[in-house]
Amino acid sequence: MMAIKKDGMARPEYDLRLYVAGQTPRSVQAFANLTKICEEHLAGRYRIEVIDLLVHPQLAKGDQILAIPTLVRTLPEPIRKIIGDLSNKERVLVGLDVRSTE
Amino acid sequence: MTYLQRSVNMKLKRISSQSMERTLPKCPTGIAGFDEITLGGLPRGRPSLICGGAGCGKTLFGIEFLARGAQDFGEPGVCISFEETSDDLAQNAISLGFDLKALERANRLFIDYIHIDKSEIAETGEYDLEGLFIRIGSAIDSIGAKRVLLDTPEALFGGLNDEGVLRSELRRLFRWLKDKGVTAVITGEKGEGTLTRHGIEEYVSDCVVLLDHRLQSGVVTRRMRVLKYRGSMHGTNEYPFLIGQKGISVLPVTSLGLNHKISDERISSGIPGLDEMLEGQGYYRGSSILVSGTAGTGKSSMSAHLVNAACARGEACLYFSFEESPDQILRNMRSIGIDLARWIKKGLLHIHSTRPTAYGLELHLVEMHNLLEQHKPKVVVVDPLSSLMSGAGENPGDLTNMVLRVIDRLKQLGTTAFFTSLTSGGHAAEATELNISSLVDTWLLLRDLESDGERNRVLYVLKSRGMAHSNQLREFLMTKNGVELREAYLGPAGLLTGSARVAQEARERDNELMLKRESEDRRLALNRKLRAAEAQILALEAEREAAQLELKTAAIENENRRTSALTQRADMARSRKVNSSPKAPRPQIPEAGV
């Protein structure tokens, strides 16, 4: 499992899980896009957990994962899901319901 | 038609056993009847599509496929449900007699509920459905599944926006399932003009089964058709099917075939006169008997007689009535001297009354099966079969199939079946509307004969397999002591019944009387003659005696006369001294004699 914790915060404001299936170009792309967006808009307030379903297939059931890649926002409530390679920044922000820091 | 169907099916089966198994392995579903029409089941290791409208039984088909596989064929199954939670599915399956939870605990079944809520999903950029593949894959691997049910992947279209991705992913999914070697059932809701709402039939092209439930004259009948089966022969007809307590069963079940055990035992019809017509012994046990006739010819009364006789032997009976309530039957049968109420009290007789239109044919059939299971009767009466016609709607073939199935079932159980059928006036009596006459063993016909301003019932045995039955028409009388059969009289103008018969009987009685009187007269006359002759004999005898006496007297007189003449002559000669010789003796007078 690739688990990346940013800023070592005990209780991040944004708790994100990215589900992937192996190191496919699309997964790598999604992860890159996500970190970029988070760094720009949520610096210091987020945590990203990457779950590889090829390694832990049983975890797919819990978050009802079908599409790959899927980003799940577990915090703040309610749960939101964004599927796709997260290439459209605006839509990711809307999907994560991130208010601009500016 | 049924026979044709059956023989075609048999032929197909024969072909299948020769060649099909080599070319295409099949996966038996365990669904009663379905494996027969597909000659073995679904194509093994390939996906099949089960489609149909809402509520037609797609999911149940899939669940039964999995449950039977897990229970009966040792093939664990995975159910991927997109619509119902596993608890709901388990609940629904209980009504079919499958305990999914127990199968899950035994690791023979894995149910995964996939839920997609469009409101909590946003899409940005490219994605695929690898997650779904991984879930199905891990489920299959976790229990070594051989069967998969996807119910229904079309729900994905409601949750995800990118149809292009979905289609290509579904295509990939079905191919992937094939590669995995699992036999998959995919359900799909019927769309307008297409088999499924989103046209997934184009990706699942090996086997397509169409389920349907149709409203005909207010009654629902379920039907099934194998639309396509690549690489295999299959029954192409539309088959009615039913969903009962033991799952789906497709009619007709040809597997039951014609190899029932039969009995040589005979049972009384309850009517002595009728038994007499059937070699004096009645029906065969386990045979099926049809009584057809127009309204009011006494069909129900004949049923009551059979039931009464069976109950008196201590056998359980089941009476399906589609026209009368139990109380009405009891009252009416009391009026002809048959007390059925006591058998009900004893628990031997069960009367089951329903309106034929209460539900569809399939449910009637289900209920019959259940009651047969419950009561295990020796004699079953269906009165009348013909009123179920309304359930068959425009397709009387359905009813024929149903009856065939009922008969098959009863024959298997060795139960004697008694059906009544109402024929409407205009039809030829021999042509029942049901086309079931060829299915029954004994066929009795009740007819009304109209003559001399009255209607009379006559009965005859149209056929009775395996016995030398009477070919006579008998008059059928309903008396206070039940049904009685009378000899029918043949007069110069044909068959005589009713008053004409009574008149004929009276005439014959008169004739007889007259004959009797005549012969008595004759006897007397002869006697008289005899006596006269005897008298004559006596008179002659007397005459003879008299004559004899006379004869005797005459002889004596004759002799006397001669003796006296001689004496006189001698006396005269002596006196004239003609002969001086004193030596001349005096003649002796002979003794008087005969």
Rounded CA separation B110/A10 (Å): 37
B135: nearest CB among A33, A61, A82: A61
Residue B542 has pLDDT above 80, yes or no: yes
Residue B554 has pLDDT above 80, yes or no: yes
In a domain, A86, yes or no: yes
Rounded CA separation A18/B136 (Å): 20
Of residues B363 and A31, the one with the higher pLDDT is: A31
Q: Per-residue pLDDT averaged across A58-83, rounded?
A: 84
Q: Which residue of B has its CA nearest to A61?
A: B135
Strand B121-123 and strand A80-83: the pairing is parallel
Q: Per-residue pLDDT averaged across A66-84, rounded?
A: 85
| Chain B contact set for A64 (CB, 8 A) | 114-116
What is the model's pLDDT at position B162?
Answer: 83
Which of A16, A17, A66, A71 is best to mutate for the B interface (most B CBs within 10 A)? Answer: A66
Give the model confidence (pLDDT) of A12-44 as tens digits.
778 888 998 888 888 888 888 888 888 888 877
Q: Per-residue pLDDT averaged across B342-364, rounded?
A: 83
Residue B188 has pLDDT above 60, yes or no: yes
Rounded CA separation B148/B63 (Å): 10
- Burial pattern B342-370, b for ≥16 Cβ within 10 A else e, equals ebbeeebbbbbbeebeeebbbbbbbbbbe
Give the model confidence (pLDDT) of B293-315 as tens digits.
887 788 888 899 999 999 999 99
Q: Which two tokens stand for residue B65?
A: 């496929």
In a domain, A60, yes or no: yes
Rounded CA separation B121/A83 (Å): 7
Asked if B135's CB is within 8 angstroms of A91's CB, the reply is no
Q: Which residue of B has its CA nearest to A89?
A: B124
Q: Which two tokens stand for residue A18?
A: 């990215």
What total of structural domains would you count in chain A?
A: 1
Please give the C-alpha separations between residue B581 and each of B571, B584, B586, B587, B589, in angstroms, as whole numbers.
Answer: 15, 6, 12, 15, 21
- H/E element holding B123? strand B121-123
What is the model's pLDDT at position B16?
Answer: 46
**Position B523 confidence tier, pLDDT thresholds 50, 70, 90:** very high
Rounded CA separation B420/A79 (Å): 66
| Chain B contact set for A52 (CB, 8 A) | none
Asked if B130's CB is within 8 angstroms of A87's CB, the reply is no
Q: Per-residue pLDDT averaged across B88-102, rounded?
A: 87
Q: How many angstroms separate the CA of residue B56 from the nearest CA in chain A?
A: 28
Q: Which of A8-22, B365-379, B490-504 is the most confident on average?
A: B365-379
In a domain, A57, yes or no: yes
Residue B462 has pLDDT above 50, yes or no: yes
Picking from B247-256, B286-295, B541-550, which range would have the lowest pLDDT averaged per residue? B247-256
Residue B205 has pLDDT above 50, yes or no: yes
In a domain, A102, yes or no: no
Percent of chain B with pLDDT over 90: 16
Please give the C-alpha separations between residue B385 and each of B17, B210, B430, in angstroms, as whole numbers.
Answer: 37, 30, 16
Residue B569 has pLDDT above 50, yes or no: yes
Rounded CA separation A22/A37 (Å): 22
Of residues B531 and B474, the one with the higher pLDDT is: B531
Residue B548 has pLDDT above 90, yes or no: yes
Quickly list H helices, B347-470: 361-375, 389-392, 396-413
Residue B450 has pLDDT above 80, yes or no: no
**Position B454 confidence tier, pLDDT thresholds 50, 70, 90:** confident
Asked if B123's CB is within 8 angstroms of A21's CB, the reply is no
Beta bridge partners of B193: none
Task: Identify whether the C-beta of residue B441 lies closer than 8 Å to the C-beta of residue B284.
Answer: yes
What is the model's pLDDT at position B539?
Answer: 95
Task: Identify whether the C-beta of residue B340 lies closer than 8 Å to the C-beta of residue B301.
Answer: no
Work out the number of other CB atoms within 10 angstroms of the CB of residue A23: 12
In a domain, A10, yes or no: yes
Residue B20 has pLDDT above 50, yes or no: no
Q: Which residue of B has its CA nearest to A87?
A: B125
Local structure of residue B17 (DSSP, 8 states):
I
Task: Identify whether the C-beta of residue B402 lies closer than 8 Å to the C-beta of residue B361.
Answer: yes
Strand B121-123 and strand B238-244: the pairing is unpaired
| Chain B contact set for A33 (CB, 8 A) | 125
Of residues B173 and B434, the one with the higher pLDDT is: B173
In a domain, A100, yes or no: no
Residue B258 has pLDDT above 50, yes or no: yes
Helices (H) and strands (E) in chain B, counts: 17, 25
Give the model confidence (pLDDT) of B435-447 as tens digits.
677 778 888 888 8
Q: Which two tokens stand for residue B583?
A: 């030596």
Residue A11: which domain range?
2-95
What is the model's pLDDT at position B579?
Answer: 62
CATH number for the domain including A7?
Answer: 3.40.30.10
Q: Which residue of B has its CA nearest to A82?
A: B122
Residue B464 has pLDDT above 80, yes or no: yes
What is the model's pLDDT at position B521?
Answer: 94
| Chain A contact set for B134 (CB, 8 A) | 21, 53-54, 57, 60
Of residues B29 and B357, the one with the higher pLDDT is: B29
**Position B257 confidence tier, pLDDT thresholds 50, 70, 90:** low
Closest CA to B34 of B182, B240, B257: B240
What is the model's pLDDT at position B465?
Answer: 86
**Position A2 confidence tier, pLDDT thresholds 50, 70, 90:** very low
Task: Identify whether the C-beta of residue B293 lies closer than 8 Å to the C-beta of residue B447.
Answer: yes
Asked if A80's CB is within 8 angstroms of B120's CB, the reply is yes
**Position A60 confidence tier, pLDDT thresholds 50, 70, 90:** confident
What is the model's pLDDT at position B219?
Answer: 64
Give the model confidence (pLDDT) of B211-241 as tens digits.
988 776 666 778 888 888 888 877 777 777 8
Q: Per-residue pLDDT averaged across B254-263, rounded?
A: 62
3-state secondary structure B245-305: CCEEEECCCHHHCCCCCCCCCEECCCCHHHHHHCCCCCEECCCEEEEEECCCCCHHHHHHH
Q: pTM for the whole thing?
A: 0.63
Rounded CA separation A71/A82 (Å): 5
Asked if A78's CB is within 8 angstroms of B134's CB, the reply is no
Q: How many angstroms separate the CA of residue A39 from the nearest CA in chain B?
A: 19
Rounded CA separation B135/A58 (Å): 7
Rounded CA separation B585/B40 (Å): 150
Instruction: Decide if A28 touches B, using CB distance below 8 A.
Output: no
Q: How many angstroms separate the CA of residue A20 from the nearest CA in chain B?
A: 8
Of residues B293 and B8, the one with the higher pLDDT is: B293
Nearest 5°: phi and psi at B467? Answer: -155, 155
Please give the C-alpha separations between residue A60 and each of A56, B150, B160, in angstroms, as whole numbers.
Answer: 8, 17, 17
**Position B573 confidence tier, pLDDT thresholds 50, 70, 90:** confident
Q: Is the peptide bond before B384 cis (omega within 30 degrees of 0)?
A: yes
Asked if A57's CB is within 8 angstroms of B137's CB, the reply is yes
Q: Is B309 exposed, middle or buried (0-12, 13-18, 19+ CB in 10 A)?
A: buried
Q: Which residue of B has its CA nearest to A74?
A: B120
| DSSP labels, B38-69 | TTSSEETTSEEEEEESTTSSHHHHHHHHHHHH
Q: Which residue of A has its CA nearest to B142?
A: A58
What is the model's pLDDT at position B198?
Answer: 80
In a domain, A68, yes or no: yes
Residue B17 has pLDDT above 60, yes or no: no
Residue B254 has pLDDT above 50, yes or no: no
Average of per-residue pLDDT values in chain B: 81
Residue B43 has pLDDT above 80, yes or no: yes
In a domain, A101, yes or no: no
**Position B589 confidence tier, pLDDT thresholds 50, 70, 90:** low
Q: Which two tokens stand for residue A22?
A: 């192996």
**Position B528 confidence tier, pLDDT thresholds 50, 70, 90:** very high
Percent of chain B with pLDDT over 70: 85
